Structure 1
Amino acid sequence: MLVLLPPSETKHAGGSGPPLDLAALTAPDELTEVRARLVDAVVELAGDVPASRAALGLSPGLDGEIARNAALRHSPTLPAIQRYTGVLYDALDVGSLTKVQRAKADARLAVGSALFGVVRAGDPIPAYRLSSGSQLPGLPTLRTLWKPVLPPVLAAHEGLVVDLRSGGYQALAPVPGAVTVDVLSERADGSRAVVSHFNKAHKGRLARHLVTSRAEPADATALVGLLRRGGFHVERARGSSALTLVVPA
């Protein structure tokens, strides 16, 4: 089973790993060329602060993100699963996993990335700032760059894929047949609404359950059973790979 997570805009600073080595990341043969092209573009762009703000959608108060991009090649690295921060990663809480659970998480988790395409949980990466909707000067869209190389890498996974990425990252590399999850809140009167703010927290808890489970679901039916046994209220239309996670309002 492969669980695909969205990245976060915010990243933990620092790290104890060596500087970025693209050859050390997942699928180097397929993805290094695009990764190198994007790293070069991001570092060059960081030399022009106003242009960086415009391309990355940053306010002057976030110029520190531009400085991170400028130092991209030389900054220390962290395992990807420790680099990303925010609501989803707080709920996932990899720091509290046992050694056995962490090994499962490293084997089952991957993160979509505008800069690196996809990284496995243990891939060493520096802090950076680039989003799926960013447009780098002089380059095609990120979707155009990743479309020829990234979807085949994800499609090559032979087991079940649970795609928890947000729409912008799914668009960079759709995974045919992957199980997706929408989160709806249910009120006392039975009416439902899309969960916005806490969507990521619920997906983080779901991901934690998946990566710590001993089970290895082979399809959506088995996945639904696993989640229901774990206390999740999950619904699935017959024959569909789209799940709905229902939570109390």
Structure 2
Amino acid sequence: MWFLFSPSEKKHLHHPKETLNTARFYDNFLAQNLQEVLEKYASYLQTSNDYAIQKLFGTKHIPLEELALAQNILNSPIVDSILRYSGVAYKALDFLALNTKEQNYLKQRVLIFSNLFGILRAEDKIPYYDLKQGEGFLDFDTKNFYKQNRANFLNFLNKEKEILDLRAGFYQKCLELPQDFIIYEPIFLKNSKVVSHYAKHYRGILLKECAKSQLQSLNDLKNLEIQGLKLLNIDTKTIKNIQKNFLTYEVKND
């Protein structure tokens, strides 16, 4: 069983659990050719003008410490990917507040679809970086990178056929799943309307509750009690010849 998760644009600049960067820290990552990609990324940041970097980072202001860490990505301190990200979903997950058994449960099952590194396991240690969703540099493009690594990624995913897909739409397009996978995907409604931005928060909550309950089969999601959410129905649909089980949750009013 895999939990597919999105990254977040917000990341911890530093983290108490960081360690010194080791040579070729990415050697055991799932994606290939990362040495070349990271060298190009660092070079681009070191030689580009402010406008190009602002566009790449998706910001009008570039903090110098963030830029320095990203420029030195091959040598900057590293920490587990599930701890590096600090956006809405990761705050809701609150990984460090989980006990050791719950943390280990997620470490074995969470796969994060990053913009720069491809698929990351929760324990893959990464340095600080910044790359706005959909942006590229030189000849690097996130979707093309996933396409180039598709066979390798799917070979790894094939170890488990059950998928809880908590990815945002962009990352679902980066890697479409095979027909033989058993896929569950949540939809969150509030006042009968689909929640968009705050869906990140509820994805984090759902992931946390899976860890707390030590869920062993996604079929058991129908019995999982989640504070603040009520499961309305599970609807199976075929989209692009891929069968998906959509879990529709109602967000309870405070």
Q: Give the TM-score range, shorter chain.
A: 0.7 to 0.9
Task: Please give the alpha-carbon distance, in whole angstroms, between the structure 1 residues aligned to 2:226 and 2:62.
Answer: 42
Residue 189 of structure 2 corresponds to 184
Amino acid at match of 1:157: K
Amino acid at match of 1:145: F
Task: Please give the alpha-carbon distance, in whole angstroms, between the structure 2 residues aligned to 1:54 and 1:198.
Answer: 25
Residue 174 of structure 1 corresponds to 176
CA RMSD of aligned residues (A): 2.2
Q: Secondary structure at the match of 1:244?
A: strand
Residue 189 of structure 1 corresponds to none
Is the aligned partner of 1:237 residue 2:242?
no
Deviation at 1:19, TM superposition (A): 1.3
CA contact (8 A) 1:236 1:243 kept: yes
Residue 202 of structure 2 corresponds to 202
**Which residues in structure 2 correspond to 1:56-135 (within 5 Å)?**
56-62=57-63, 64-135=65-136
Amino acid at match of 1:236: I
Q: Secondary structure at the match of 1:237?
A: strand
Residue 158 of structure 2 corresponds to 156
TM-score by length of 1: 0.84
CA contact (8 A) 2:95 2:103 kept: yes
Deviation at 1:91, TM superposition (A): 0.9
Deviation at 1:67, TM superposition (A): 2.7
- Inter-CA distance 56–86: structure 2 relative to 1 (3 Å threshold): closer
CA contact (8 A) 1:56 1:131 kept: yes
Larger deviation, residues 83-92 vs 9-18 = 9-18
Task: Please give the alpha-carbon distance, in whole angstroms, between the structure 1 residues aligned to 2:69 and 2:173.
Answer: 26
Residue 52 of structure 1 corresponds to 53
Q: Secondary structure at the match of 2:73?
A: coil
CA contact (8 A) 2:118 2:145 kept: no
- Inter-CA distance 168–154: structure 2 relative to 1 (3 Å threshold): farther
Larger deviation, residues 139-148 vs 165-174 = 139-148
Higher percent of residues as helix: 1
Equivalent in 19, 22, 44 of residue 21 of structure 2:
19
- Inter-CA distance 99–118: structure 2 relative to 1 (3 Å threshold): same
Task: Please give the alpha-carbon distance, in whole angstroms, between the structure 2 residues aligned to 1:49 and 1:182.
Answer: 41
CA contact (8 A) 2:13 2:66 kept: no
Deviation at 1:153, TM superposition (A): 4.2
Q: 1:49-103: CA deviations, max 9, x gaps? A: 4222233332134555433320111111111111100211111011111111111
Larger deviation, residues 121-130 vs 147-156 = 147-156
List gaps (5 residues or longer) in structure 2.
238-243
Task: Please give the alpha-carbon distance, in whole angstroms, between the structure 1 residues aligned to 2:135 and 2:87.
Answer: 20
TM-score by length of 2: 0.83
Task: Please give the alpha-carbon distance, in whole angstroms, between the structure 2 residues aligned to 1:113 and 1:4.
Answer: 11
Q: Secondary structure at the match of 1:209?
A: helix
Q: 1:147-202: CA deviations, max 9, x gaps? A: 1313524542323111111111111112234322222112xxxxx11213321111
Task: Please give the alpha-carbon distance, in whole angstroms, between the structure 1 residues aligned to 2:64 and 2:164.
Answer: 35
- Inter-CA distance 156–123: structure 2 relative to 1 (3 Å threshold): same
CA contact (8 A) 1:163 1:179 kept: yes
Residue 240 of structure 2 corresponds to none
